[in-house]
Amino acid sequence: MAEKSILYDATRCTACRGCQVACKQWNENNEEWKTGQAKLTTNWGSYENPPDLSPQTWLKLKFIEVDRGGKLDWLFTRQACMHCTDAACVKVCPTGSLYRHELGFVSYDKSICSGCGYCVDFCPFKVPRSTRNVVTGIAKADKCTLCTTPALDRLAAGQEPACVKTCPPKALVYGDRAQLLAQGKTRVEELRNKGYSSAYLYGDKELGGLHVMYVLNDSPEVYGLPANPELPAAAVAWKDVMQPLGWAIAGLAGLGLVLNYVMARKAKIENGELAKK
C-alpha cells in the first residue's frame, strides 16, 4: 500500500486558520464545548491564536515577521506533528500507544498511553503535549493523529484529513507521498525561477522522510524549523539498550522475589513455624 502524506505549501497559505478550526471540530477538541464554560482570552501581542499547541490544540498556524530590505514580510507555517519515518516518539513509547500506521504516518492509541511523557521530551519538533487529570491523577499525551482517532477515522472512510478538506487556497494537499514529493520539488523549482533562491522542500529526507512536507520560499531556519533535525541519541539508546535492560532488571527483580519467598518458606518449615504441605 502506497504511503500517504500531506504537502503544505507555505507560499499559498493565507493563515486563515480554517485548518485549526476544522481540526478542533472533527477531533472534538473544543474545550468550551466539552465543559460548557467559556474561557477569557487576552491580547498577548500577536495575531497567533492560541499561543501554542496544547492537549486540545493539535494544529496551529505560526506567524513569522521577516525584515527584507527594510520591508516587513510575513511568513506562515503550520505547527503540528510532522509524522516522521524515524520517529523518536515511536522509539521511546513504552506501551506502543504511538506506532507507525500502514500508510506511513505516526498513529496514536490514547487508551494505552501511560502518560510517561517520553514523547514530549524526545520529539525534535516539540509537538506532543501532555496533561494530567486533576481528579484521577492520570496523565495522557495528545497530538495530531492525521484524523485516524478511533470512531473519528476519516481516512478509513475514504476521506482526506479535516485540515486538508477545509483549506480554501489549497495550501494543503493529501495523497500518495511519492506523487506529492514530485509535486513539491516542482513547486520549489518554480519559486527559485521567480527569484526565491533559498526555496526549499522540507521533509524530503529529514528523519527518514516526513509525512507532512513543506514548500518554503526561504530556508527552514527562517521558518523556525530545525535545519537538520536528528533522532536524539538518547531515544536510540532508550529503545535499543535501556528498555531491554529495564525489562531484564524487572525480570531479575521478579525472580529475586520468588526465590526470597521460597527460601523464607523453607526456613519456616525447617524451624517448625509452618506445616509442610
The verdict on 200 and 236 lying in the same domain is no
The verdict on 180 and 247 lying in the same domain is no
The verdict on 166 and 53 lying in the same domain is yes
The verdict on 31 and 151 lying in the same domain is yes
The verdict on 143 and 184 lying in the same domain is yes
3-class secondary-structure state, position 75: strand
Higher model confidence: residue 33 or residue 249?
Answer: 249
Kindly report, residue by residue over 33-68, the tens digit of the pLDDT: 455 555 666 777 778 888 899 999 999 999 999 988
pTM: 0.82
Kindly report, residue by residue over 159-169, the tens digit of the pLDDT: 999 999 999 99
Other residues' Cβ atoms within 10 Å of the Cβ of residue 56: 17
CATH number of the domain at 50, please: 3.30.70.20
Is pLDDT above 50 for 83? Answer: yes
Range of the domain at 43: 4-216
What is the three-state SS of 143-202?
CCCCCCCCCCCCCCCCCCCHHHHHCCCCCEEEEEHHHHHHHHHHHHHHHHHCCCCCCEEE
The verdict on 145 and 254 lying in the same domain is no
* Number of structural domains in the chain: 2
3-class secondary-structure state, position 212: strand
Which residue has cell 530590505? 69
Domain boundary among 190, 216, 242: 216
